[in-house]
């Protein structure tokens, strides 16, 4: 539901053809950024105008420790490069590639590395020479890396030293790879295995030195040429290679950086040269890549971190005395971008901490949250009250204490989490929406709009159509139904940000991918659209709201459709839930849920029930499971789920699902098939 005040102007406008446009751009699509024709030029222009501006920083690893079989680190202070220094490194690396490697314009160079300063410098250097940057998630294993490198016919891979071990394990199976550029000094054993397979090893620093000594001319690509071949993380099967042009990415940059973009709030621009951004999400994901290209084009300061070192208690932080600062505390960013799964974890951790406070402080926190809800309803953020402010201030310091805006994407953000984060951190929390195929930021909720569960109007680089989906009973005609009152259907995203399609190996075409290139892209009234598979509706405010997904819709044996992700978002409100997954079968009349629990709350529940044991024992205990199930059912009823949507049986999972154990994608989306396979026995026990 929208909580828009009546006097605010609509965010978007639906034209006579049923197409949703941003209110400021009806019928006109932004198709670039300034006068830039390709991505390298956007950095070159930015560096030219602000050579002394602080550009990109990274923390050196001072110590490495093994703790219970896991690597933990001690980090130093941020070390910085100016825009002039950063761009010089890009120029030299591009020259080094041209001088040393036998690459030609249009060849693919894969970057297989964690997010770091060198990742983007390598990408800009490749774009300088007109190369295609292929991206593969650093968390993907050897088979997925092998598949992407071979299918793209990449001649060179730029890789983290630690990932050379993965490449070495499949070195004899590469079909086109001739060169590996190591970002840091590689392991000798991995290096030897690659060399034995006929692959040449270079250090990135060596290529930079070669380029500095013998500068080569830039040979950038044209606007319509492919800039990025992005392999999706995939929830099942092999990843798909998405072909994205320079023009598509620059169109997103232009829209996001425009004066009327959603990144402006009451006259204050969040994307401005004085802004500071914490970069820690995977650059192999379109959201982070598009964000960083935009920020460098606008002259923002970018500090790199990792998901394992953002806060002082993050898993990769070695515990010292006094405690070392997390990346966010050391950087003090003003902008924070996160997948909803990250904010879900923060929500659970902070809420649990508030509940454990003493009486006076607990009361202050609860009152502060209550006042925050009231402010949210008035299109405001933060809270009031001196004591609540002091309690929340300690939480804010975990992210440096200067956050001005939080942006989320890649999955729905629950209304409760949005309100909570906006109250505690005292800043707007806004959702965006897009896909790899549409360069991420197709929609962003306006800065002044506190509407819940919406993803905003389209940006000025996109427009939205809704296509009737008869099987799911979603139609444009639903706007005339008094019980619905909104146009509904499959979301089609159109405009210059739509990708060129999926990569098909001409020598060995995958029939499924060939068919997707035919079915997933349509041209209507001269505009090319991508068919997302998501189900949306247009709100009276002119916002898009995602309400279902075709693949997440399961028809039960009695004919009702259950939207799995919809139920999962409701289950996140249960006090025992950290991460849920709803499972349903068309042969059954009801659905069930698998839940990774909030461990402290589950242990407290067990104590109340006089149940003892370790976490696996508690999860398997019938009393504990019954109590959690009762809480889940009560929450689902309170939040108005239909009877057939409510999971009637619960499986408690002791091991949290993560990308590392293969249960989540690199951007924390559920991998449903692997989860079901792993917990098949538990599911069989309850789903009868």
Report d(CA 505, CA 229) in Å as an integer.
Answer: 13
Coil vs helix vs strand at 413: coil
Instruction: Assess whether the previous peptide bond of 322 is cis (omega < 30° from 0).
Output: yes
Q: Please list the residues that pair with 464 across neighbouring strands.
A: 20, 493
The string of pLDDT tens digits covering residues 175-229 is 999 999 999 999 899 999 999 999 999 999 999 999 999 999 999 999 999 999 9
What is the DSSP secondary-structure string of 445-500? Answer: --TT---TT---SBPTT-EEEEE-BTTTTB-GGGGG-TTT-S-EEEEEEESTTS--
In 3-state terms, what secondary structure has residue 625?
Answer: helix
Dmax over CA atoms of the chain, in Å, equals 74
pLDDT for the residue numbered 627: 96
Phi and psi based region of residue 18 (left: phi greater than 0; alpha: psi -120 to 50; beta: remaining): left
Which distant-in-sequence residues (6+ apart) come within 8 Å of 234 by Cβ?
144, 240, 665
Query: pTM of this prediction?
Result: 0.87
CB 494, CB 464: distance < 8 Å: yes
Residue 2: Cβ within 10 Å count: 17
Predicted confidence at residue 680, as pLDDT, reads 93
**DSSP of 637-686:** HHTT--GGGS--EEEE-SSPP-TTTTSB-TTS-B-HHHHHHHTHHHHHHH
Strand partners, 582: 593
Per-residue model confidence (pLDDT) at position 233: 62
CATH superfamily of 556-686: ANL, C-terminal domain (3.30.300.30)
Torsional class of 296: left (φ above 0), alpha (ψ -120 to 50), beta (otherwise) = alpha
Distance CA 556, CA 642 (A): 13
Which residues belong to CATH 3.40.50.12780 in the chain? Answer: 39-221+257-304
What is residue 236's predicted lDDT score, i.e. its pLDDT? 53
- The residue among 577, 609, 616 whose CA lies nearest residue 593 is 577
Residues near 638 by beta carbon (within 8 Å), at least 6 away in sequence = none
Residue 419: CB atoms within 10 A of its CB come to: 21
Using one digit for the tens of pLDDT, what is the confidence trace for 236-259? Answer: 567 789 999 999 999 999 999 887
End-to-end CA distance of the chain: 36
Q: Three-state secondary structure along 288-324? A: HHHHHHHHHHHCCEEEECCCCCCCCCCCCECCCCCCC
pLDDT, position 237: 60
Report how far residue 240's alpha carbon sits from residue 230's, in angstroms, rounded to the nearest whole number.
8
* Segments of the chain with pLDDT less than 50: 1-6
Contact 27, 86 (CB under 8 A): no
Residues of the chain with CATH 3.30.300.30: 556-686
Q: Are 174 and 151 in contact, with CB atoms under 8 Å apart?
A: no
Task: Report the C-alpha gap between 251 and 459 in whole angstroms.
Answer: 10
**Closest C-alpha to 416, from 375, 373, 354:** 373
CATH superfamily of 39-221+257-304: ANL, N-terminal domain (3.40.50.12780)
Q: Give residue 472's pLDDT.
A: 82
Q: Which residues of 359-388 are buried (b: 16+ CB within 10 A; e: fewer)?
A: eeeeebbebbbebbeebbeeeebbbebeeb
Alpha helix (H) residue ranges in 65-114: 83-100
Tokens matching residue 196: 């034995």
């Amino acid at each position: 539901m929208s909580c828009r005040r009546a006097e605010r102007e609509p965010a978007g406008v639906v034209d006579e053809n049923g197409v949703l446009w941003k209110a400021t751009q009806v019928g006109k699509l932004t198709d670039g950024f300034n006068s830039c024709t390709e991505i390298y030029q956007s950095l070159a222009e930015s560096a030219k105008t602000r050579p002394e501006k602080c550009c990109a920083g990274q923390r050196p690893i001072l110590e490495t420790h093994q703790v219970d079989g896991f690597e933990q680190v001690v980090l130093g202070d941020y070390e910085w490069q100016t825009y002039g220094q950063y761009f010089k490194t890009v120029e030299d690396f591009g020259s080094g590639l041209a001088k040393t490697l036998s690459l030609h314009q249009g060849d693919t160079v894969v970057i297989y590395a964690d997010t770091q300063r060198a990742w983007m410098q390598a990408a800009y250097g490749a774009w300088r020479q007109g190369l295609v940057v292929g991206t593969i998630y650093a968390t993907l294993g050897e088979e997925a890396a092998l598949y992407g490198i071979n299918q793209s016919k990449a001649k060179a891979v730029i890789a983290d030293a630690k990932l050379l071990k993965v490449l070495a394990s499949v070195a004899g199976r590469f079909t086109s790879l001739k060169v590996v550029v190591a970002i840091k000094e590689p392991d000798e054993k991995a290096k030897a295995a690659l060399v034995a397979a006929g692959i040449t090893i270079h250090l990135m620093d060596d290529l930079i030195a070669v380029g500095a000594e013998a500068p080569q001319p830039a040979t950038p690509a044209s606007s319509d040429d492919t800039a990025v071949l992005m392999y999706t993380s995939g929830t099942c099967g092999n990843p798909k290679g998405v072909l994205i042009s320079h023009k598509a990415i620059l169109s997103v940059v232009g829209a996001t950086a425009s004066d009327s973009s959603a990144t402006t709030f009451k006259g204050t621009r969040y994307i401005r040269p004085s802004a500071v951004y914490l970069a820690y999400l995977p650059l192999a994901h379109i959201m982070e890549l598009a964000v960083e290209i935009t920020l460098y084009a606008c002259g923002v300061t970018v500090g790199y971190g990792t998901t394992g070192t953002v806060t002082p208690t993050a898993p990769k932080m070695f515990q010292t005395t006094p405690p070392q600062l997390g990346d966010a505390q050391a950087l003090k960013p003003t902008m924070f971008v996160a997948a909803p799964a990250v904010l879900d974890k923060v929500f659970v951790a902070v809420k649990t901490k508030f509940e454990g406070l003493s009486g006076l402080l607990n009361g202050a926190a609860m009152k502060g949250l209550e006042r925050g809800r009231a402010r949210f309803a008035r299109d405001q953020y933060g809270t009031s009250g001196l004591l609540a402010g002091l309690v929340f201030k300690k939480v804010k310091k975990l992210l440096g204490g200067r956050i001005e805006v939080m942006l989320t994407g890649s999955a729905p953000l629950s209304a409760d989490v949005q309100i909570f984060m906006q109250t505690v951190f005292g800043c707007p929390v806004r959702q965006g929406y897009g896909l790899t195929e549409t360069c991420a930021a197709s929609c962003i909720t306006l800065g002044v709009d506190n509407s819940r569960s919406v993803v905003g109007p389209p940006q000025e680089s996109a427009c939205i159509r809704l296509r009737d989906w008869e099987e799911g009973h979603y139609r444009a005609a639903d706007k005339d139904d008094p019980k619905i009152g909104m146009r509904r259907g499959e979301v089609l995203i159109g405009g210059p940000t739509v990708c060129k399609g999926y990569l098909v190996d001409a020598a060995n075409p995958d029939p499924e991918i060939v068919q997707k290139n035919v079915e997933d892209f349509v041209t209507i009234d001269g505009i090319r659209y991508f068919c997302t598979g998501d189900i949306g509706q247009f709100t009276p405010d002119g916002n898009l709201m995602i309400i279902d997904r075709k693949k997440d819709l399961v028809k039960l044996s009695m004919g009702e459709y259950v939207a799995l992700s919809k139920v999962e978002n409701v289950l996140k409100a249960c006090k025992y839930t950290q991460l849920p997954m709803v499972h349903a079968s068309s042969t059954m009349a009801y659905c069930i849920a698998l839940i990774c629990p909030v461990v402290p709350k589950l242990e407290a529940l067990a104590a109340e029930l006089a149940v003892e044991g370790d976490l696996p024992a508690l999860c398997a205990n019938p009393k504990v499971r019954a109590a959690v199930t009762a809480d889940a059912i009560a929450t689902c009823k309170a939040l108005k789920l239909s009877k057939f949507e409510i999971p009637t049986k619960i499986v408690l999972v002791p091991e949290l699902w993560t990308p590392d154990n293969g249960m989540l994608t690199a951007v924390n989306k559920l991998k449903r098939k692997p989860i079901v396979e792993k917990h098949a026995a538990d599911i069989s026990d309850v789903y009868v």
